Amino acid sequence: MTDLDERWQWSRVTRRDLQMCSRDIVTRLRTGHAFVLMEDGHPLAHLTPIQNAVTPAQGRSSGLQLERLRSVLAEHDLACILGVSVRALSAVEDFPPVVTGRMTSLDTLIEDLSLWNSPSQLSTWLRRPRQELQRRSPLDRLAFPWTAGDSRSEVVLDLARHDRRRHMTRRLDAPE
């Protein structure tokens, strides 16, 4: 085993895995996981993470994040989730760190959900009461004060990840 092998935990992936689960693979690369691309049972390439890589949500400016979020959420809902007034939402250029953190978390959530949902389905997902959220919708859950990474936001992000995994499993089980 080389030094490279000792630094990363390796998983084998195929071309089909890359096509069907690329989002999950990229997410795992971001967290330091490495892959060996296999073809016909033989290693073809190593997929290794680049240290200090910038995720799309981190690299996106708050203005671009805001536009993406506005394309999915009504202005009032977006202001409520971010914890700002509708007036501030349209007037402020630089938001405080807590609002920027919320924007990034929400942008990540929207990005994940939009992989398999149309905009109307995404809106329905956000508004539908969920058993896992004590019969509240994800929008209702995030309408109270929260900080990126806290339990209030993480339960919604975990729910989206769970739904994504369930959706991806259904796609993998579907005949080609």
Query: pLDDT band at residue 138, thresholds of 50, 70 and 90?
Result: very high
Hey, how many other C-beta atoms are within 10 angstroms of the C-beta on 127? 13
Examine the pLDDT at 68 and tell me if it is beyond 50: yes
Indicate the burial class of 166 (C-beta count within 10 angstroms; 0-12, 13-18, 19 or more): exposed
Residue 62 resides in a domain = yes
Same-domain pairing of 111 and 133: yes
Q: Minimal CA–CA distance to 104: which of 50, 61, 133, 137?
A: 61
Examine the pLDDT at 56 and tell me if it is beyond 70: no
Same-domain pairing of 161 and 112: yes
Same-domain pairing of 89 and 144: yes
Same-domain pairing of 149 and 108: yes
User: Does the predicted model carry a pTM greater than 0.75?
Assistant: no
Same-domain pairing of 109 and 24: no
Average pLDDT value for residue range 116-125: 83
Same-domain pairing of 91 and 167: yes
- For residues 112 and 75, is the Cβ–Cβ distance under 8 A? no
Same-domain pairing of 135 and 70: yes
- For residues 72 and 55, is the Cβ–Cβ distance under 8 A? no
Same-domain pairing of 39 and 61: no
Among 53-57, 109-113, 168-172, top mean pLDDT goes to 109-113
Same-domain pairing of 96 and 156: yes
Examine the pLDDT at 120 and tell me if it is beyond 60: yes
Q: What is the C-alpha separation between 98 and 95, in angstroms, rounded? A: 8
Rg (CA), the chain: 19
Same-domain pairing of 60 and 28: no
What domain range includes position 10? 3-47
What confidence score (pLDDT) does residue 129 get? 94
Residue 9 resides in a domain = yes
Residue 145 resides in a domain = yes
Q: Which residue has the tokens 């693979």?
A: 25
Lowest-confidence region among 12-16, 20-24, 80-84: 20-24
Average pLDDT value for residue range 69-96: 86
